[in-house]
A and B are shown apart, each in its own frame.
Chain A
Amino acid sequence: MDNTIAFTGLTKSFGRLPVLRQVGTTIGSGQVVGLFGRNGAGKTTLMRILYGMIGPDAGQASLLGLDPQAHPVEVRQRVGLVSEECHLYPWMDANALETFLAPLYPKWDRELFRRHLASMEVPPDRRVDALSRGTKRKLMLSLALAAQPEVLLLDEPLGGLDAVVREQIVTTLIHSLTDHGVTIFLSTHEIEQFAKVCDRVIILSHGGFLVDRETAALTDQVRRVTATLEHPVEAVPAHPQILSARAHGTQVEFVLNGFTQETADAILANWKVREVAVSGLTLPEIFIAFTAGKEEVS
């Protein structure tokens, strides 16, 4: 699998505030990778660096084999970006935007743009400032898709969208794009919505990657252990693989990263256990387990 997106050692600070610290990974063609993090974790900054809008303090990035800092135009002609930070010109309508943008993209498809507008119910002749927030987002998505990108960077793509369109985008659109080999790197707080389409999950916290794993492996390796004890306990002892833990009377519960039965047994050996149950976690639960109690600074 080729490395459609690759970055290594990316570091970025705004003034004295570090936002990214030495992050790096590779993403292959056709993959859908979710970038999750709390507010201020650095997701948007990472997206902007990958798109060449801002430069890193250190490290290198590559999209489709091109350095976005050195070749921003070539990268952007082949990579689409939908970001909540990008505001469309309020005085333009969809037709004017297409007139403005079409000459900039060599693979711009007018029919495709019309189809997306129709399917997402975006009026082509209404000024942007007269559109709802969700409709603006749909218009932005239509514009990005009309350029037929090989890579799509989505920064909070579902913000302001209703449930129907969310479902439409997540199930239909993303599957359709990946079928055509489009690589998608998305950052979102809508973890549950995207859980079913993400091949990989990256959790970003305090400027570093806490998790960078295949979704299936992640859900397989992070398990919740619930035990009923003979005697009540005050707390769960610290262990490097425990992400979160709770003790209430004779009930203890902890989430184990890199779950193995041996590890769970070793932790439970501290008490006289009456009953044990091991269960899986949803992706949002895994995210919370990894990031709860770790405030981001923005």
Chain B
Amino acid sequence: MKTLIMKELREHALHLGLFIAAGVASVLMLAWFNQFDHETVLTLLFLFEAPLFTIMLGGHLVGAEVRTNTFPFLAALPLSRSAIWWGKAVAGLAICLTVYAAFAGLAWTAGIPELLLDFGMGNQTGGAEPWFQLRGYPFLTAGILLFGLPMALFAAAYWGTMLPNGLPVLETLVAVVALWLLWSGQALSALHLPLALGLLTIVFLASSWLTFRRGELMTGWRRAWWAIGSLAVGLGCAGLLWGALDGLADRRLPKGEMKELRVTDDGTSVLCAVETQAEWFDPLQGMGLRPWSTTDPDRTAHSRLLRLDPATGRFHQVGRRGLVCPEPSPDGKTLAAVALTSWPGLRTTPRLVLADPVTGDIRRVIDTNASPKGFLPDGRLLYERYVPGGGDLITTELCVYEPGSGSRGLFAIQQDRGGGLFPLALTCLDAVMVYTPDRAEPLLVALSTGRTASLPLPVFLHSPYQDEKLAILTAYNQPFHLVRPGAAPRVLTGLATDTEFLGRLPDGRLLVVMNATTTVDGFDLEGRVLGTFDADAGTCRPLAAFRNLRLNAMNTSLSGDGRTLLASMNSPGPGEAFLLDLETGRRQTVNLPTRSIRHLQPAGRRAFAVSFYEDLWRVDADTGAATRLVAVPSPF
């Protein structure tokens, strides 16, 4: 085979020289026309000329021998068909490698700094992005550009050379598809490229090998049938393998980092958004050559949605990978989410869907390019829709979806590069508060009519507590504002900014954690105690029954029925959690892991969900039993 490789190298030496000369000429032309910036040079060399040469060479290796009638001589030599096939393939790849190396050298000698020549394979000095990322090809990585893409193009062209000369239409079609894949960013980013290119390369090579072995003197039409038939079968098998691999990767849960936790109001469903790093799909990343990948349908990481089965205490994945931004409905029977992918792992336009919270089956597609902003207590869904308006202008529209009557827009704004309206639903007013960059105060949009009105409030407030009667609004370290139906918003100047609103007690009063001075052993001490909030006066008063209960540096949560309080030390020390029956004053110790609490919230009427950075626990409000629901180990 070595002698065949040497023959091929000699035969194509002229072509190699011509192509390198073409590279030099194109660089000189760019310099002549003052277009000599590194992005243009590298794009021309590595995204146009080198792939074109790869296609031309791959299509020349066998086809030229058939055209010039030298193939019978080659076929009559004491070389097996496999040796000829491999010899030509190895020689072709070696020539391609030489072209890529020559182009890299050419770019370097032409003055491209080494940093900008970096294809992302090495260290990123100063966080510099590789040129092809800057150029607008976010789906490319160094491995794809320098290995995956040339291999796939070479394999496709090598396969094409097995066809009779009378099939220019088919060859043209293959070339057009290849070029379209190369240049269409949308098409490329829709696929998981390393996997797709790898499978395509294998299928094309296998089909060409089979055709070459069966093609005898490569003159009969039978080889065309072998080529096309085996390619069709190979693509079918690759598709099945794609689906199988994608499905396998899809079930690799729940290894990853928990990003978001959702507990339905009735406490029957716990949803957990997890992000898994993409090393499963990206061989380059697996080899440590690339710290991140931009070639997955889920882009930088694989987002999953997990649901806890309350019967077994085990998590199950909801739907396929790529279901993100979960918003469970108040009754826990519906899930609003954004579906990024469709089977088998192909990226589609992000769709806002209503799905089954258990199986993830999509029940209804509400909109595209939209993200949910939360359910209202009556089951309506608030979401934002993003519509490109030409250039960098993007229209952001606030919409509401009502089961039975569909979606309708409430308010829209067009901004450079888009941006959210930061909607905050105010249940007590049946309205949504939004922010626009041209206003110094928020707008109130009525949910029923879409009418707008200015609110005399600061911007970017959040709501530490709200229900159907009132809403407490604040911003970081800012005074609280009270919003109630039929009354103007009011600043609660008498309320300390670190007051925590926990929820309503069975008697209708609002329970808070507040600062108060208590007397301990004859000493007056400032501390955190339970109290109640008087909305009319805008002040809080300590609860006399628990005046000696100090909640300093504790996370607290009120159960859904307002009868039990869970409090835990927010420190790495031993478990300090306890349950407090607010009616009887009975106190019960709860054992939790000795790690910092990330989030504490009620789960239904008589339970709490406690999430740490790597796992999630459930605390029963009646028995005080703490159960670990799921462990989510960090990938790092």
Residues of A within 8 A of B (CB): 14, 48, 51, 53-55, 72-77, 81, 83, 85-91, 96, 99-101, 103-105
Residues of A within 8 A of B634 (CB): none
Residues of B within 8 A of A96 (CB): 10
Q: Is B72 part of the binding interface, using a Cβ–Cβ cutoff of 8 Å?
A: yes
Q: Is B69 part of the binding interface, using a Cβ–Cβ cutoff of 8 Å?
A: yes
Q: Give complex CA distance A58, B424 in Å.
A: 81
- 1/0 contact trace for B69-80 toward A, CB 8 Å? 110110111111
Residues of B within 8 A of A91 (CB): 11
Q: Is the CB of A54 within 8 A of B72?
A: no
Interface of chain B residues 45 through 77 with chain A (CB within 8 A): 68-70, 72-73, 75-77
Q: Is the CB of A104 within 8 A of B72?
A: no
Contact (A73, B78) CB under 8 Å given A54-B216, A55-B216, A103-B3: yes
Residues of B within 8 A of A51 (CB): 76
Q: Give complex CA distance A267, B216 in Å.
A: 51
Q: Is the CB of A103 within 8 A of B2?
A: yes
Q: Is the CB of A86 within 8 A of B220?
A: no
Q: Is the CB of A104 within 8 A of B3?
A: yes
Q: Is B7 part of the binding interface, using a Cβ–Cβ cutoff of 8 Å?
A: yes
Shortest B406–chain A CB gap in Å is: 62
Residues of B within 8 A of A81 (CB): 76
Known interface pairs A86-B76, A89-B11; 17 further A-B residue pairs with C-beta atoms within 8 A, sorted by A's residue number:
A48-B217, A53-B72, A53-B75, A53-B76, A72-B78, A72-B80, A73-B78, A73-B80, A76-B76, A83-B72, A87-B68, A87-B69, A87-B70, A88-B70, A90-B68, A99-B3, A100-B3
Q: Give complex CA distance A9, B78 in Å.
A: 25
Q: Is the CB of A104 within 8 A of B79?
A: yes
Q: Is the CB of B78 within 8 A of A86?
A: no
Contact (A54, B217) CB under 8 Å given A73-B79, A77-B78, A89-B11: yes
Residue in chain B with minimal CB distance to A102: B3
B73 CB contact (under 8 Å) in A54, A86, A104: A86
B77 CB contact (under 8 Å) in A54, A99, A104: A104
Q: Give complex CA distance A73, B543 in Å.
A: 98
B76 CB contact (under 8 Å) in A55, A74, A83, A100: A83
Contact (A85, B72) CB under 8 Å given A14-B220, A54-B216, A54-B217: yes
Shortest A82–chain B CB gap in Å is: 10
Residues of A within 8 A of B11 (CB): 89, 91
Shortest A137–chain B CB gap in Å is: 13
Q: Give complex CA distance A98, B384 in Å.
A: 75
Residues of B within 8 A of A86 (CB): 72-73, 76
Shortest B67–chain A CB gap in Å is: 11
Q: Is the CB of A100 within 8 A of B216?
A: no
- 1/0 contact trace for B1-32 toward A, CB 8 Å? 01100110011000000000000000000000
Top 3 A-B pairs, shortest CB-CB distance = A76-B78, A86-B73, A87-B69
Residue in chain A with minimal CB distance to B14: A91
Residues of B within 8 A of A90 (CB): 68, 70
Residues of A within 8 A of B75 (CB): 53
Q: Is the CB of A105 within 8 A of B78?
A: yes
Q: Give complex CA distance A100, B220 in Å.
A: 28
A87 CB contact (under 8 Å) in B6, B10, B73, B217: B73
Q: Give complex CA distance A83, B7 in Å.
A: 22
Q: Give complex CA distance A87, B217 in Å.
A: 13
Residues of A within 8 A of B70 (CB): 87-90
Residues of B within 8 A of A77 (CB): 78
Residues of B within 8 A of A99 (CB): 3
Residues of B within 8 A of A14 (CB): 220
Q: Is the CB of A100 within 8 A of B73?
A: no
Residues of B within 8 A of A55 (CB): 216
Residues of A within 8 A of B79 (CB): 73, 104
Q: Is the CB of B2 within 8 A of A100?
A: no
Q: Give complex CA distance A70, B78 in Å.
A: 13
Q: Give complex CA distance A45, B573 in Å.
A: 89
Q: Give complex CA distance A84, B7 in Å.
A: 22
Q: Give complex CA distance A73, B3 in Å.
A: 15
Q: Give complex CA distance A91, B6 in Å.
A: 14
Q: Give complex CA distance A54, B2 in Å.
A: 24
Residue in chain A with minimal CB distance to B216: A54
A–B pairs, 10, beta carbons within 8 Å = A72-B80, A76-B77, A77-B78, A83-B72, A86-B72, A86-B73, A86-B76, A88-B73, A90-B70, A104-B3
Q: Give complex CA distance A76, B6 in Å.
A: 21
Residues of A within 8 A of B72 (CB): 53, 83, 85-87
Residues of A within 8 A of B220 (CB): 14
Shortest A168–chain B CB gap in Å is: 24
Q: Give complex CA distance A86, B65 in Å.
A: 11
- 1/0 contact trace for B580-618 toward A, CB 8 Å? 000000000000000000000000000000000000000
Q: Give complex CA distance A76, B79 in Å.
A: 8
Residue among A54, A72, A75 facing the most chain B CB atoms (10 A cut-off): A72
Q: Give complex CA distance A90, B67 in Å.
A: 13
Residue among B75, B76, B80 facing the most chain A CB atoms (10 A cut-off): B76
Q: Is the CB of B78 within 8 A of A104?
A: yes
Interface of chain B residues 166 through 217 with chain A (CB within 8 A): 216-217
A53 CB contact (under 8 Å) in B68, B80, B217: B217
Residue in chain B with minimal CB distance to A53: B75
Residues of B within 8 A of A85 (CB): 69, 72
Q: Is the CB of A89 within 8 A of B73?
A: yes
Q: Give complex CA distance A103, B79 in Å.
A: 11
Q: Give complex CA distance A74, B72 in Å.
A: 18
Residues of B within 8 A of A101 (CB): 3, 77
Q: Is the CB of B217 within 8 A of A100?
A: no
Q: Give complex CA distance A54, B219 in Å.
A: 11
Q: Give complex CA distance A105, B76 in Å.
A: 12
Q: Give complex CA distance A91, B13 in Å.
A: 12
Residues of A within 8 A of B6 (CB): 100
Interface of chain B residues 143 through 166 with chain A (CB within 8 A): none
Shortest B631–chain A CB gap in Å is: 60
Q: Is the CB of A53 within 8 A of B73?
A: no
Q: Give complex CA distance A224, B55 in Å.
A: 65
Q: Give complex CA distance A83, B77 in Å.
A: 12
Residue in chain B with minimal CB distance to A143: B73
Interface of chain B residues 549 through 575 with chain A (CB within 8 A): none
- 1/0 contact trace for B482-495 toward A, CB 8 Å? 00000000000000
Residues of A within 8 A of B3 (CB): 99-101, 103-104
Q: Give complex CA distance A75, B217 in Å.
A: 18
Residue in chain A with minimal CB distance to B75: A53
Shortest A157–chain B CB gap in Å is: 14
Q: Give complex CA distance A203, B237 in Å.
A: 50
Interface of chain B residues 212 through 266 with chain A (CB within 8 A): 216-217, 220
Q: Give complex CA distance A14, B80 in Å.
A: 23
Q: Give complex CA distance A91, B220 in Å.
A: 26
Q: Give complex CA distance A85, B73 in Å.
A: 8
Residue in chain B with minimal CB distance to A54: B216
Residue in chain A with minimal CB distance to B73: A86
Q: Give complex CA distance A83, B73 in Å.
A: 9
Residue in chain B with minimal CB distance to A106: B78
Residue in chain B with minimal CB distance to A128: B70
Shortest B110–chain A CB gap in Å is: 32
Q: Give complex CA distance A75, B70 in Å.
A: 20
Shortest B322–chain A CB gap in Å is: 50
Residues of B within 8 A of A89 (CB): 7, 11, 70, 73
